[in-house]
Amino acid sequence: MTRLRTSGKRHRQYEPGSTNCARLLIIAVSVILAACGQDNFASTAVSRSNVQAPHWIDDPAAGPILPITAEVDTSSHLVQLGKTLFHDTRLSADNSLSCSTCHDIEAGGDDGRQVSIGINRAEGDLNAPTVLNSALNFAQFWDGRATTLEEQAIGPIHDELEMGTNLPAVLKKLAADNRMVSAFDEAFDDGMTSANLLTAIASYEAALITASPFDHYLLGDVDAISETAKLGFDEFQKLGCISCHQGRNVGGNMYQYFGIMGDYFADRGNIRSSDFGRYNVTKNPVDKFKFKVPSLRNVAVTAPYFHDGSAATLDEAIAVMARYQLGRPINQAQVERIVAFLETLTGEIEDDLL
Ligand code: HEC
Ligand code: HEC
């Protein structure tokens, strides 16, 4: 299985070096996009949350793709408690699965399945997105129904097909464990509460930020990625992928229809309510088949793809995007270059987050 690289150290700090190249790149991209009339740089916003956003998220120098430059604090009691909870099977009704069952951090933050399998081997309708860098998304879930990571985390705990339980039942189990009680006491003045459980999980997730070779490149290290990857990034911009996959998370900052230039759903067939996307939240017919544009960070290690898990490989996903989102023919050489670029978005994870 393809896995993320680990940093091999507890804390990591990138030296930004010269940012001139990055600035030039961003200006060049802006010019290209302005020329194409694609002036939709939504700002990269972070979910409003109790969890304090790292200071660099609201960088005013908004470009099409912003680098990750953070030093993440991974060692606090709060983040470490969140890590323990994320891996604790007592969060499910029959103690059979934890968040990490469907979001394997080291393997890209997802489960590698077409659709997720919950308690009692119940099959859901949706592909599990990665939790890595989810703090950088403007909303959570394919349909954006949760604004914060805390709000999101209640979802799987209560979902009958996923963990099938509720917060009081989970707290009752955890309260019988002295080590858990002390871990909450160390992290919070008011100890173990439902709100604190959600805050701890959200704080852990907010630390799951993975800087990648492409970030080094944006920060001025021109040798951080291969020539093929650079051509792929060029292709990604010229074809127009960047008009949707952009911002700090290379996605995660807008909703878009799936099937703008072709009817993806008619061609695939077997339409289910989970295909309605954003409509399930707003009930506004114009939102039918609209989804949160997913982040492409770590995308090379999170196959299969799309909300329905229909694309088994990255090559296939790119071809589907070119056809249904851009209506542009794309050849195998272009696909390979884009894959080389997307591979540079595979990041590093701190050892003490695993
Ligand atoms: C049975 C598998 C399963 C379990 C267990 C599970 N998840 Fe998920 N997770 C999913 C699926 C599937 C989705 C997408 C659902 C949707 O969009 O409606 C998802 C979505 C998410 C997202 C949104 C990411 C994004 O980009 O939109 C986050 C964050 C997340 N889960 C965190 C958690 C946490 C925290 C837990 C434990 C409390 C958890 N998950 C437990 C399968 C699971
Ligand atoms: C008009 C907006 C738009 C454009 C342009 C676009 N995408 Fe997407 N992309 C999306 C949306 C929306 C999804 C989610 C579709 C779904 O699963 O419902 C997506 C999903 C993906 C995925 C799957 C990610 C995952 O984790 O499942 C990949 C890979 C991807 N796009 C790459 C590209 C590439 C490469 C291009 C250019 C050839 C491109 N996209 C152009 C909006 C767009």
Q: What is the pLDDT of residues 107-140, one digit of tens each?
A: 999 999 999 999 989 999 999 999 999 999 999 9
Taking the centre of ligand 1 as the mean of its atom positions, its distance from the CA of residue 241, in whole angstroms, is: 25
Q: What does the alpha-carbon distance between residue 160 and residue 118 come to, in Å, rounded to a whole number?
A: 8
- Better pLDDT: 73 or 33: 73
pLDDT of res. 4: 72
Taking the centre of ligand 1 as the mean of its atom positions, its distance from the CA of residue 100, in whole angstroms, is: 9
Q: What does the alpha-carbon distance between residue 248 and residue 100 come to, in Å, rounded to a whole number?
A: 24
286-300 pLDDT, tens digit each = 999 999 999 999 999
- Better pLDDT: 189 or 55: 189
The pair phi, psi for residue 183, each rounded to 5°, is -65, -40
pLDDT of res. 70: 73
Q: Which of 325, 338, 342, 344 has most ligand 2 atoms within 8 Å of CB, for mutation? A: 325
Taking the centre of ligand 1 as the mean of its atom positions, its distance from the CA of residue 265, in whole angstroms, is: 23
- Better pLDDT: 10 or 156: 156
**Average pLDDT score over residue span 265-285:** 97
Q: Which of the ligands is closest to the CA of residue 132?
A: 1
Indicate whether residue 165 lines ligand 1 (CB < 6 A): no
- Better pLDDT: 32 or 153: 153
From the CA of 140, give the closest atom in ligand 1: 27
With a pLDDT cut of 90, the percent of the chain lying above it is 78
Q: Give the chain's mean pLDDT.
A: 86
Indicate whether residue 99 lines ligand 1 (CB < 6 A): yes
- Better pLDDT: 177 or 39: 177
Taking the centre of ligand 1 as the mean of its atom positions, its distance from the CA of residue 156, in whole angstroms, is: 6
Q: What does the alpha-carbon distance between residue 283 and residue 122 come to, in Å, rounded to a whole number?
A: 27
Q: What does the alpha-carbon distance between residue 87 and residue 64 come to, in Å, rounded to a whole number?
A: 35
Indicate whether residue 103 lines ligand 1 (CB < 6 A): yes
177-191 pLDDT, tens digit each = 999 999 999 999 999
**Average pLDDT score over residue span 316-322:** 98
With a pLDDT cut of 70, the percent of the chain lying above it is 82
pLDDT band at 42 (very low <50, low <70, confident <90, very high): very low
Return left, alpha or beta for 269; rule: phi > 0 is left, psi -120 to 50 is alpha, else beta.
left
Is the per-residue pLDDT at 317 higher than 90? yes
From the CA of 277, give the closest atom in ligand 2: 18
**CA-nearest residue, atom 9 of ligand 2:** 293
Q: Which of 162, 235, 343, 348 is catalytic?
A: 162
Residue 235 appears among annotated catalytic residues: no
Q: What does the alpha-carbon distance between residue 205 and residue 200 come to, in Å, rounded to a whole number?
A: 9
Q: Which of the ligands is closest to the CA of residue 290?
A: 2
Q: Which of the ligands is closest to the CA of residue 158?
A: 1
**CA-nearest residue, atom 18 of ligand 1:** 141
pLDDT of res. 3: 65
One-letter amino acid of 220: G
- 278 near 290, Cβ under 8 Å? yes
Q: What does the alpha-carbon distance between residue 117 and residue 112 come to, in Å, rounded to a whole number?
A: 11
Q: Going by C-beta distance under 8 Å and a sequence separation of 6 or more, which residues neighbour residue 24? A: none
**CA-nearest residue, atom 5 of ligand 1:** 99
Q: What does the alpha-carbon distance between residue 292 and residue 254 come to, in Å, rounded to a whole number?
A: 6
pLDDT band at 63 (very low <50, low <70, confident <90, very high): low
Q: Which of 94, 95, 111, 141 has most ligand 1 atoms within 8 Å of CB, for mutation? A: 141
203-258 pLDDT, tens digit each = 999 999 999 999 999 998 999 999 999 999 999 999 999 999 999 999 999 999 99
Question: In the numeric block, which tokens belong to residue 339?
Answer: 């894959």
pLDDT of res. 37: 34
pLDDT band at 6 (very low <50, low <70, confident <90, very high): low
Pick from 1, 2, 7, 3: nearest CA to 211: 7
Q: Which residues line ligand 2 (CB under 6 A)?
A: 239-241, 243-245, 256, 258, 260, 291, 293-294, 296, 299, 302, 305-307, 317-318, 321-322, 325-326, 338
